[in-house]
Amino acid sequence: MNFVFSIFTLPVLLLMSAYVFAEEGAPHHDFPVAVAGFHDVMAPLWHAESGAQRNQKICKQYPTLMIRLNKIRSAEVPQNVDATQWRHAVENLYKVLSPIETICVENRTPEYALANVHYGFHELVKLIGHEH
């Protein structure tokens, strides 16, 4: 019985671990480079457990988020996207990200403001065909 169980279980476990590795190691989106750069900083903050540690990380990463957002602002508008809508969505993202600096300086809780950044980001990427 153990031998039969092992013969069937081992391949299943190997396939499952390969799947998990592929999921963790591969990018989940095919965003333009500047957009992917912003996402790479924002996503771990968004998915972190709520609390003091997350708030500290948000404040620490705020300057990087701004740098990445400025790269989106200065990048070319993606193909097949209305330039006016794109610029409007980028500026909206800037408007919801900017207050985090003051929130952090005042030792308040930035994770609530990060929700606006998250939703603003998804409004931006909807324009390039990525629905949440």
What pLDDT, in 10s, does the model give residues 59-72?
999 999 999 999 99
Give the pair of three-digit tokens for residue 18.
Answer: 């390969």
> How high is the pLDDT of residue 23?
40
Q: What is the pLDDT along the chain (132 residues), one digit of tens a residue?
A: 555 444 544 444 444 433 333 344 445 578 999 999 999 999 999 999 999 999 999 999 999 999 999 999 999 999 999 999 999 999 999 999 999 999 999 999 999 999 999 999 999 999 999 876
Whole-structure pTM value: 0.78
